[in-house]
């Protein structure tokens, strides 16, 4: 991807911001750091903290968000989740800047990799949470289909308890009541780990401790992004006239590949603390994203919107 020689400076960024009407914002954990939520890959980010604490048995700190690890040992995730569960966090200037673009009719869509739901709190409507979020939770047994609001598992998260699926629990009770029937055979997607016959269940997911419990609707490694990601990208790629990449190391696919899907002529502005070397950027604004967007707004005569009180 070649850089466009006509866009280089802060003045170019200001000019693009004041004229473009279909701006795609690709955001990541960096925009929530000032809200008190660490990012993942900075030196004081979640992954290095997990590594240095050594408190969890993880080969790779990223395994904290790995589906297979979760199913094998859900209590590990739930002993940690309270540290990132959104509670009382207030959106940053960077979130409010995205909301401002939306209010001005300039936001095509915010592709967020964040799971903290701060976009909703900031009132951004055109947001796609590419990696899901804590806003809801679902049963890990696909045949169960139970879902609830994220607030429904908040008490468990803060108590560092694994949240049980009420429907699966009820089913267990009902099954136990059935007088003479033998326990269902393993592998039918609806059975639970029996206490005695563990030799039968080597790789059967339905026998793992994390099967049939509630998991926040966050996309873990090993899970596919929701179809709406592909649909949105397909719809947006023809229309985008400016891409702003903000607060992300852009290391996780498929979000990191978005740039490959949009026209080469689309200018790209990076607003980030550190350079993203594999990203072909036209204008790189390096530093704290809140200070940068505040500066841009001052120059443009724009005012960041205040955050409305939460509905929940």
| Residue 297 annotated as part of some ligand binding site | no
Residue 3 contacts residue 10 (beta carbons within 8 Å) = no
| Residue from 229, 306, 301, 303 nearest 261 by CA | 229
* Residues in 56-75 at the binding interface with ligand OAD, rule: CB under 6 A: 62, 65
Q: Cα separations (Å) of 285 from 225, 247, 269, 296?
A: 29, 11, 7, 10
Query: At 129, is the secondary structure helix, strand, or coil?
Result: strand
239 is known as an active-site residue: no
Least distance between ligand OAD and beta carbon 33 (Å): 4
Q: Shortest distance, CB of residue 271 to ligand OAD, whole angstroms?
A: 7
Phi and psi, residue 56, nearest 5°: -110, 145
- C-beta of 183 vs 251, nearer to ligand OAD: 251
Segment 157-176, which members bind ligand OAD (CB under 6 A)?
Answer: none
Q: Which member of 133, 206, 248, 266 binds ligand OAD (CB under 6 A)?
A: 248
Dihedral Cα 227, 95, 256, 8, nearest 10 deg:
140
149 to 101, 129, 169, 215: CA distances (angstroms): 28, 16, 18, 11
Give the total of residues touching ligand OAD (CB under 6 A). 27
Residue 139 annotated in ligand binding? yes
Nearer to ligand OAD, 138 or 204 (CB): 138
Q: Is 37 in the site for ligand OAD (CB under 6 A)?
A: no
One residue of 3, 18, 22, 45 binding ligand OAD per CB under 6 A: 45
Indicate the residue among 168 and 218 with the shorter CB distance to ligand OAD. Answer: 218
The answer to whether 111 contacts ligand OAD (rule: CB under 6 A) is: no
Please indicate if the annotation marks 144 as binding a ligand: yes
Q: Which residues contact 199 (CB under 8 A, 6 or more apart)?
A: none
Is the peptide bond preceding residue 200 cis, with omega within 30 degrees of 0? no
Contacts to ligand OAD from residues 250-289, by CB under 6 A: 251-252, 272-274, 288-289
Q: How far is CA 102 from CA 24, 36, 155, 214, in A?
A: 10, 24, 34, 34
Catalytic residue among 82, 95, 131, 264: 131
Residue 165 contacts residue 213 (beta carbons within 8 Å) = yes
Indicate the SS3 state at residue 190.
Answer: coil
Closest distance of CB 267 from ligand OAD, Å: 19
Q: How far is the CB of 126 from ligand OAD (least distance, A)?
A: 19
Q: Which residues belong to the active site?
A: 131
* Residue ranges in contact with ligand OAD by CB under 6 A: 28-30, 33-34, 39-42, 45, 62, 65, 113, 115, 131, 218-219, 247-249, 251-252, 272-274, 288-289
Q: Which residues are annotated as a binding site for Zn(2+)?
A: 139, 144, 165, 168
């Amino acid at each position: 991807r070649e850089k466009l020689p006509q866009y280089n400076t802060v003045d170019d960024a200001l000019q693009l911001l004041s004229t473009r009407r279909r701006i795609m914002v690709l955001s990541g954990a960096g925009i929530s750091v000032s809200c008190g939520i660490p990012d993942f890959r900075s030196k004081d980010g979640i992954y290095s903290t997990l590594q240095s604490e050594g408190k969890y048995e993880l080969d790779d700190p990223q395994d904290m968000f790995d589906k297979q690890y979760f199913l094998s040992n859900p209590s590990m995730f739930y002993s940690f989740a309270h540290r990132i569960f959104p509670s009382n966090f207030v959106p940053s200037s960077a979130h409010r800047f995205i909301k401002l673009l939306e209010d001005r009719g300039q936001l095509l869509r915010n592709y967020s990799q964040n799971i903290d739901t701060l976009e909703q709190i900031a009132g951004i409507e055109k947001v796609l949470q590419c990696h899901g979020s804590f806003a809801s939770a679902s049963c890990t047994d696909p045949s169960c289909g139970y879902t609830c609001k994220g607030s429904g598992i908040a008490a468990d998260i803060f108590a560092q308890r694994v949240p049980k699926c009420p429907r699966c629990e009820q089913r267990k009770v009902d099954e136990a009541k059935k007088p003479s029937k033998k326990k269902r055979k393993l592998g039918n997607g609806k059975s639970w780990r029996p206490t005695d016959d563990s030799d039968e269940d080597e790789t059967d997911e339905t026998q793992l401790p994390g099967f049939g419990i509630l998991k926040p609707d966050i996309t873990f490694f090993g899970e596919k992004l929701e179809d709406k990601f592909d649909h949105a990208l397909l719809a947006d790629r023809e229309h985008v006239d400016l891409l702003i990449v903000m607060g992300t190391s852009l290391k996780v696919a498929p979000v990191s590949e978005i740039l490959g899907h949009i026209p080469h002529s689309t200018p790209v502005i990076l607003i980030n603390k550190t350079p993203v070397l594999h990203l072909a950027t036209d204008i790189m604004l390096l530093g704290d994203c809140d200070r940068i967007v505040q500066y841009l707004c001052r120059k443009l005569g724009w005012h960041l919107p205040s955050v409305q009180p939460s509905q929940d």
